[in-house]
Amino acid sequence: MNSSQSDVQTRLANSDDAENITALINVAFRQAENFFVEGDRIDLKTVLKFLETGEFLLAEDQGSLNGCVYLERRGNRSYLGLLSVDPSRQQKGMGSLLMTTAEEYCRARKDRFIDILIVNLREELPSFYGKRGYVETGISPFPKDVETKVPCHFINMSKAL
């Protein structure tokens, strides 16, 4: 952990965190995805639903939410999604900290694999996840209910724990 993260604490979210999680995801994804999709990435109702079907791991310092990631257990696998870092904290290792913490958490609960989906238009993501040991396993369609400016799809990736 570098010095900019020395005071970062991670914890599992609860329903009281839902509004802050929603705001963080939307600001992070708006910056990253506005070239191919408009509007908010998620709404409060969906975050609350995700808190029932899985859990969010939060990264905070001095009472401020800096990042989050969603985890959902599926048998002996976990789905990991919505990795979000406050734009002011991006490119400083916060995403890597969240990924490492999420992987350790999943390993501790005896999950055997982590599965992720990344948008093919986000050209920086395959190498970020590839360096962490994730390998491409196929492709999936982008949700039909999300209007995009250009055609896109998901790249499926997995990592053995």
Task: Give pLDDT tens digits for 70-95.
Answer: 999 999 999 999 999 999 988 888 99
Q: Which two tokens stand for residue 106?
A: 């999943």
64 lies in which domain range?
3-116
Residue 159 belongs to some domain of the structure: no
Residue 153 belongs to some domain of the structure: no
**CATH number, position 45:** 3.40.630.30
147 and 128 Cβ atoms separated by less than 8 Å: no
Instruction: Give the model's pLDDT for residue 1.
Output: 34
Neighbours of 119 (CB within 10 A): 17
Number of domains observed in the structure of the chain = 1
Residue 128 belongs to some domain of the structure: no
Residue 141 belongs to some domain of the structure: no
Position 47 confidence tier, pLDDT thresholds 50, 70, 90: very high
User: HSE on the CB side for 24, CA within 13 Å?
Assistant: 26
Q: Token pair 């929603």 is at which residue?
A: 22
Lowest average pLDDT, out of 1-15, 76-90, 103-117, goes to 1-15
Instruction: Give the model's pLDDT for residue 143.
Output: 87
Give CA separation, 124 vs 32, 44, 135, in Å: 11, 28, 15
pLDDT tens digit sequence for 120-140: 999 999 999 999 999 999 999
Residue 82 belongs to some domain of the structure: yes
Q: Which two tokens stand for residue 69?
A: 């990631």
Residue 156 belongs to some domain of the structure: no
Residue 70 belongs to some domain of the structure: yes
